[in-house]
Amino acid sequence: LGTSSFKKVFIMYIQGHIVHNWKARWFVLTPDKLLYYKYEGGKRDSCQRGKILLKDCLITCPFLEYENRPLAFKLQTKHGVDHFLEACSREERDEWAADIAAAVNKLQATDGGKLMSQKDSAESRLQNINLSKVLDSMYDVHSGIKLSNHVEQGSTYSNCFSGSAVVDWLVFMQLSLTRGEAVTLASALLEEGFLRTVGLRSVEALRTASLSEQFMDDSTALYSFPDSFKKRGSVKSERSRSALELSGKVVKRGYLLKQGHRRKNWKVRLFVLRSEPDFLHYYDPTKDDISPVGGFSLRGCLISSLDDNGVPSGVKGNIQGNLFKIITKSDIHYFIQAPTHQEKMDWIDAIREHT
């Protein structure tokens, strides 16, 4: 491991961190990363399938939580992402773990002279962020990042987004305080394989940039979700909610009437207001209160009380009064009825504090 040209190659199994199946992969260990390639029919594919950066990795060998896989061991990256690997024998497992540990220790020794005060504050904030939950939130059909087609140098790329769009979204969702922090978080997503480069500009940036600057806050640099995550997302229910937006503190909950967007009929719903992040979800009371049937981010929402005299525009059906309306940033209108005037005002005041 002492030279920059060192490489160790072998076949091991890896568990996908998006689709949790085990697949044979051809691994290449270099001084600072573990690369892996598709391996089928006794041949290694030339296309790299992923990489694990070894700086500040933690190794658990053996990993005893998989009782039926005694040859497994775990690598946890500095961003808290777990990678589970399985060798073909105990000897190979221990040898791989030892070689990886030696590479990690050498990287730590190289950085030993750096002062802790020089570490970027954005990097330290990443230690408390679950990248898998961030990815789930990005892919959410209602509040996630918007996929679109982009043209770069005459080529059209579908279902992707720009680097600046990712940074905008991370700041808007309050997952990052500044654009600099958002770039650091996006770089971590890219580094862990949760995002992939699309087109020439982002690929070239990844090849030439330093590790901390590999993601570009640029409208011409294109990125997308990995293919394995798209496959998982294609079978997800539209009503699925990311764990991230449901992780906020419950501020207020209660039963209200909500008008449907299509049939315009009124149904009783259990509404739950959460903060950090600020979301309003609603549940079907005839079912469980674990999986909401709908919800939206309160960032940039407008809320107003509606007059009980007459039927406001956009409202149909049997109106009992105590109406109020919420307009989301994407211009979706929600009409809601409270049981009493006081409850209506209480809900309006509570929601306004989080818009």
CATH number of 245-353: 2.30.29.30
Is the pLDDT higher at 158 or at 113?
A: 158
pLDDT value of residue 304: 92
- Write b or e for each residue in 64-103: b if 16 or more Cβ atoms lie within 10 A of its Cβ, otherwise e: eeeeebebbbbbebbbbbebbbbbeeeeebeebbebbbeb
Options 3.90.1150.10, 3.40.190.10, 1.20.1260.10, 2.30.29.30; CATH for 9-111 is 2.30.29.30
pLDDT value of residue 279: 92
Length of the chain: 355
Give start-end residues of each CATH 2.30.29.30 domain in the chain. 9-111, 245-353
Region 223-236: mean pLDDT is 61
Model confidence at 346, in pLDDT bands (50, 70, 90)?
very high
CA distance 177 to 3: 40
Percent residues over pLDDT 90 in the chain? 14
Cα-Cα-Cα-Cα dihedral sign, residues 135, 139, 140, 143: positive
Quick: pLDDT tens for 158-207.
Answer: 888 988 889 888 888 888 888 888 888 888 888 888 888 888 777 776 66
CA–chain centroid gap for 34, Å, is 23
Please report which residue ranges of 111-149 form alpha helices under DSSP H: 121-126, 131-139
Q: If you average pLDDT over every residue of the chain, what do you get?
A: 78
Going by the DSSP 8-state scheme, the letter that residue 319 receives in this structure is -
pLDDT value of residue 209: 54
> What is the number of helices (H) and of strands (E) in the chain?
8, 18
pLDDT value of residue 282: 92
- Indicate the range of 97-106, 145-154, 272-281 predicted with least confidence: 145-154
Give start-end residues of each CATH 1.10.10.10 domain in the chain. 131-224
pLDDT value of residue 11: 65
Q: How many CA atoms lie within 13 A of 88 on its CB side?
A: 7
Phi, psi of 104 (to 5 degrees): -60, -45
pLDDT value of residue 128: 66
Amino acid letter, residue 125: R
Residue 324 has pLDDT above 90, yes or no: yes
Class for the domain spanning 131-224: mainly alpha
pLDDT value of residue 235: 36
In the three-class reduction of DSSP (H, G, I as helix; E, B as strand; rest coil), residue 169 is classed as helix
